[in-house]
Amino acid sequence: MDRDYDGTLSELFESTDDSLADVRRFPKGMHYDTKLALCLTGGKLPLLLDDCLLSKRIQSEHADSVLEKFKNKLKNSRAPGQDAEELFCNFRFLTILDSVVPLTRTSAIDQVKSFKKKLKKFFGAYRSLWVVGAIEVEIVNMSGMRLLQTIENAEGMRKLKTCEQLFNLWVKPEDRNNDSYALIHFHGLMFHRSENELHAINRDLKRKSEWSKIDYQTMMKRLSREYEGRIKPLTLSLEHIARYIVKGGTDRAGKYVYLRYKHNYSNGSIPNDLSELESDLKSDIISEVKDDYSNWDHMSLTYGETIFLAQLTRSMMYMNRAPKTDKNHGKGYLIILENRPARASKRKKRK
């Protein structure tokens, strides 16, 4: 399998569903690259180490590419003599939560493709709208989030409620016995010269039947003006967003990514270790594995979930089947759209 393999994805996914049975978690303190190599080489998929969205090299390259698009938009949108900071009000950060589906090869990739079509159709209806964003699949551990109900954490409770509502909408009764599922969503940056039009788009989003089934399913926000107690330059906001949206469904804190669950929407009072909460429920699993359970990082993805996410994000990269010479080759999970303004109608001159 080479970098240009597209095929039917059957080779990539032939062992995906079976690999999820590997419920081992990574030891505490293990380096990110070591975790990824341990899973993918053990899963006989070493070529994915540098060809999926879990690869830090791929994340870095794609973040640089996205940031370049952001900066070009900022540069081309400024009027002569205009300060870049004056365009803060014309940008918005958008999140859309689409669905929660089982961790199966067909459920996840089919839903991602359907979601992408809906996004392109929605954004394409607005003149002069510019959008660059990414579809992301995050593995959410529903059992872990429920265990955290014993801890005071408003952000975590809101995410749990949202995921459970999507879970009830999308997951069939026969598929509801697992711990983890795929949360399919979109993060993107929008630009429009008219704030009124941005308000109208936000209003239309909240009226879309597929994205208005639950609270907080769509969230459009102004960019942050403060960072670490200081005024945050627009260029720094763009840099942070570019890194954030190409993280491949993993947890990110600053410049660092982790193969761990993100049980809330932001960095909050979440414990680093769930072993005390989880041990009673996992006694059946503990007896079946040979690893030292006490040394597991119980916030980490399992080996099987990591393999699944690597394979899925790799197939998402090549959804657009762009040729190798195309600048968007391997970036099929991105939404890149710049709609042209409406042309002024030309009136015929009277003779």
Indicate whether 56 belongs to any domain. yes
pLDDT in tens, 149-207: 666 566 678 889 999 999 999 999 999 999 899 999 999 999 999 999 999 999 999 99
Indicate whether 238 belongs to any domain. yes
> What is the rounded CA–CA span in Å between residue 18 and residue 9?
16
Structure tokens at 72: 């070009």
Single out the residue of 272, 334, 271 nearest to residue 119, CA to CA. 334
- What is the reported pLDDT for 82? 86
Indicate whether 349 belongs to any domain. no
Indicate whether 2 belongs to any domain. no
Indicate whether 23 belongs to any domain. yes
Domain count, the chain: 1
Indicate whether 32 belongs to any domain. yes
pLDDT in tens, 9-57: 444 445 455 678 888 899 888 899 999 999 898 868 888 999 999 999 9
Q: What's the pTM value of the predicted model, to 2 decimals? A: 0.86
Indicate whether 29 belongs to any domain. yes
- What is the reported pLDDT for 183? 97
Indicate whether 351 belongs to any domain. no
Residue numbers of the domain that contains 238: 10-78+89-338
